[in-house]
Amino acid sequence: MGGAMTWSTLGTDVSIANDRHVHPFIPAKAMTLDRIGVQVTAAIAGSNLRLGIYADGGNLYPSSLIVDAGSVSAATTGPKLVTISVAVTAGTLYWLCCHASANAIQRRTLQQGDAMPLLGFNQPVGVGTPLVAAGWFHNTAFGALPDPFPAGASPYVLGSGVNPCVFVRGT
């Protein structure tokens, strides 16, 4: 996994309508998360992003919904933050979620060197340049986040599509 991430080391990509992405988050210490957010880099009128957090089911796959933080408007650019209050445990795997209502919303994204290769790589070592499988995506109608996370999601591979980055703040 890469070093510290900054706005300048993150990339951008465009959303696909109704895709719900989750990526791993493992807190280094027990804390209470008080913000969850995304950064919109190119807006789409009337569009929204829905944010949330899922627990891990013990098999590197999201399970129960911890918090549905609601929707944020993606009709303007900039950071989109929601106030939450979620206690997390050190060393425990959680899944940060972003669900897009429309195509073409540009958001900050994870880069290959800054992603946790939790789900492995998309091809064997020695066969081209393997890309990190960094999370899961599932395409369903935009709306409230389901509890539990739907079965049948596909892994998403950095560099081959949308890789949204959800941010949290804790104290």
pLDDT average, residue stretch 152-164: 70
Percent helix, percent strand, percent coil in the chain, to nearest 5: 5, 50, 45
Residue 142 has pLDDT above 60, yes or no: yes
Range 4-20 average pLDDT: 62
The pLDDT of residue 135? 82
- 69-88 pLDDT, tens digit each: 999 999 999 999 999 999 99
Inside any domain, residue 102: yes
* Mean pLDDT value of segment 92-112: 78
* 1 domain residue, yes or no: no
| pLDDT given for residue 3 in this prediction | 38
Q: Does 103 reside within a domain? A: yes
Question: Average per-residue pLDDT in the chain?
Answer: 82
Of 22-26, 75-79, 110-114, give the lowest mean pLDDT range.
Answer: 110-114
The answer to whether position 37 is within a domain reads yes
Tell me how many domains the chain contains.
1
CB 157 within 8 A of CB 38: no
Least confident of 28-32, 98-102, 146-150, 157-161: 157-161
Structural domain includes residue 163: yes
CATH number of the domain where residue 71 is located: 2.60.120
Q: What pLDDT is recorded for position 162?
A: 53
Judge whether 2 lies within some domain: no
Q: What residues make up the domain containing 65? A: 7-170
